[in-house]
């Protein structure tokens, strides 16, 4: 009888403990789920989340096929999506590998930068000599469908996953071009993407006595790790050519590393001058300053931009415009002035989160306004079809008077 009584007491105690454990606060259940210590959010009621989790586990029709780890990734993705920020994304293992490969530059796809503009998936810029460029994709094209799938409410990274693929395979984009009423389908064959850095050429201002051209043109395609050294070599080429005027073509340059933009700006600004301001959510600012190479004095200088000029392009162009170093010609820029930081969540997952905003040296928000050129020159459909470049022509015209 004593043994039976002890057994009953033990069973009641264990049952009570289990019942109490099952009724513990929802946030503690989340701790157990991740099996690691995390900071408890203040004043957050997790009970709705855990109630939904329990309902799925107990009531879902294909309960035996549930992947609880996938459910966790989905929950995090939903949380990040609630920020309503197209540049903040959680990467589960497979997506994280794709993202890391794009950072390394060893990826296959069509070769274009995309973003969200007015809640519509939009081409920021096709990269030179890539499948997208050769297929006729233009900056500003609105992507309505990818292989017949609507892009309404799509995230950038999901769109990237759909567009990228193995070399030799095809993707069909349904796009709507500005100024056109009907959408069109463009088929693109994917390939290995080789991202160019820059090109150079010489042009003449048309002044008498100029035999070989007095204007040096640098077409910069991106702000990669290789860009500062390539830009330095281009400037040396300019000096050796005896050109005394410069055009920096940033059209369809979707950006890249801030450090590259800061280094390039340093060739034209004294040491210590602010190139960009990084403003965080708590109001703190981090200043990025010129390294003061500053080898040019009173250089006649024009920068050409368009709606495909984004991020680091806007930082560089905005700084040199505000200091009066260069005249901006072209169309209003894309307006991508946010800063993302990549956090490792687990060994094979990551969170890309917007942590700050870019401001010009004078404190202008790039994200809200983009950059408006000093001289606005639009590129029309007829210009493109006829092979005309009124923006370059205007840049040369401005320099010819200096």
User: How does DSSP assign 136-164, residue by residue?
Assistant: T--TT-EEEEETTEE-TT--HHHHHHHH-
CA-nearest of 229, 220, 218, 228 to 197 is 220
Q: What is the pLDDT of residue 337?
A: 87
112-115 contact pairs (CB < 8 A, 24+): 112/137, 113/254, 113/255, 113/308, 113/310, 114/143, 114/156, 114/159, 114/160, 114/163, 115/86, 115/156, 115/310, 115/334, 115/336
- Residue with the two structure tokens 């051209």: 213
Q: What is the pLDDT of residue 104?
A: 61
Q: What is the pLDDT of residue 10?
A: 57
What are the E-state strand segments in 234-348?
Answer: 245-249, 274-280, 285-289, 301-305, 327-330, 338-346
Q: What is the pLDDT of residue 31?
A: 44
CA-nearest of 223, 250, 254 to 132 is 254
DSSP-assigned beta bridge partners for residue 351: 90, 343
Tell me the C-alpha distance between 361 and 356, whole Å: 15
Q: Is 48 exposed, middle or buried (0-12, 13-18, 19+ CB in 10 A)?
A: exposed
Q: What is the pLDDT of residue 94?
A: 83
Tell me the C-alpha distance between 308 and 318, whole Å: 15
Topology of the domain comprising 198-340+354-400: 2-enoyl-CoA Hydratase; Chain A, domain 1 (3.90.226)
Residues labelled as active-site residues: 311, 322, 336
44-53 contact pairs (CB < 8 A, 24+): 49/75, 50/26, 51/26
Secondary structure (3-state) at 115: strand
Residue intervals in the chain for CATH 2.30.42.10 = 106-192
- Secondary element (H or E) of residue 220: strand 215-220
First to last CA, the chain: 109
Q: What is the pLDDT of residue 345?
A: 94
Q: What is the pLDDT of residue 45?
A: 86
Q: What is the pLDDT of residue 21?
A: 43
Secondary structure (3-state) at 301: strand
- Does the pTM exceed 0.95? no
Tell me 358's DSSP state. E
Dihedral in degrees, nearest 10, Cα atoms 123, 126, 131, 134 = 110
Residue intervals in the chain for CATH 3.90.226.10 = 198-340+354-400
> What CATH homologous superfamily does 106-192 map to?
PDZ domain (2.30.42.10)
Distances (CA, A) of 106 to 96, 101, 228, 324: 14, 6, 21, 39
Average confidence (pLDDT) per 10 residues, the chain, 402 residues? 54 48 44 51 83 93 92 94 90 83 72 87 88 93 96 88 93 93 95 88 73 86 91 96 95 90 97 96 93 93 95 96 98 90 92 92 89 95 82 95 87
**Between helices 93-104 and 156-163, what is the axis angle to 10°?**
80
């Amino acid at each position: 009888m004593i043994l039976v009584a002890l057994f009953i007491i033990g069973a009641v105690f264990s049952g009570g403990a289990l019942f109490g454990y099952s009724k513990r606060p929802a946030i503690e259940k989340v701790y157990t789920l991740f099996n690691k210590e995390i900071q408890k959010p203040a004043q957050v009621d997790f009970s709705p989340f855990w109630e939904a989790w329990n309902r799925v586990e107990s009531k879902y029709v294909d309960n035996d096929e549930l992947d609880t780890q996938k459910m966790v990734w989905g929950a995090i993705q939903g949380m990040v999506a609630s920020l309503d920020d197209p540049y903040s994304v959680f990467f589960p293992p497979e997506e994280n590998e794709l993202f890391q490969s794009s950072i390394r530059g060893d990826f296959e796809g069509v070769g274009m930068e995309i973003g969200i503009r007015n809640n519509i998936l939009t081409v920021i810029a096709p990269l030179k000599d890539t499948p997208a460029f050769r297929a006729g994709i233009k900056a500003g094209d609105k992507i309505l469908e990818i292989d017949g799938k609507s892009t309404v409410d799509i995230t950038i990274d999901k769109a990237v996953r759909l567009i990228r693929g193995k070399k030799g395979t095809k993707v069909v984009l349904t796009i709507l071009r500005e100024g056109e009423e009907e959408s069109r389908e463009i088929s693109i064959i994917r390939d290995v993407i080789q991202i160019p850095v820059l090109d150079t050429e010489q042009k003449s201002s048309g002044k008498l006595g100029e035999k070989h051209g007095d204007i040096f043109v640098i077409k910069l395609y991106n702000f990669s790790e290789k860009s500062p050294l390539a830009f330095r070599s281009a400037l040396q080429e300019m000096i050796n050519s005896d050109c005394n005027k410069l055009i920096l073509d940033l059209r369809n340059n979707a950006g890249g590393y801030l450090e590259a933009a800061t280094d390039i700006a340093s060739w034209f600004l004294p040491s210590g001058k602010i190139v960009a301001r990084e403003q965080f959510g708590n109001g703190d600012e981090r200043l990025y300053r010129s390294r003061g190479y500053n080898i040019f004095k009173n250089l006649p200088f024009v920068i050409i931009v368009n709606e495909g000029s984004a991020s680091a392009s806007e930082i560089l162009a905005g700084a040199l415009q505000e200091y009066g170093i260069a005249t901006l010609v072209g169309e209003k820029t894309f307006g991508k002035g946010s800063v993302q930081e990549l956090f490792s969540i687990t060994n094979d997952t990551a969170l890309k989160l917007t942590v700050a905003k870019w401001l010009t040296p004078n404190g202008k928000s790039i994200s809200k306004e983009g950059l408006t050129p000093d001289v606005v020159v639009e590129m029309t459909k007829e210009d493109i079809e006829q092979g005309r470049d009124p923006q370059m022509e205007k840049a040369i015209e401005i320099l010819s008077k200096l």
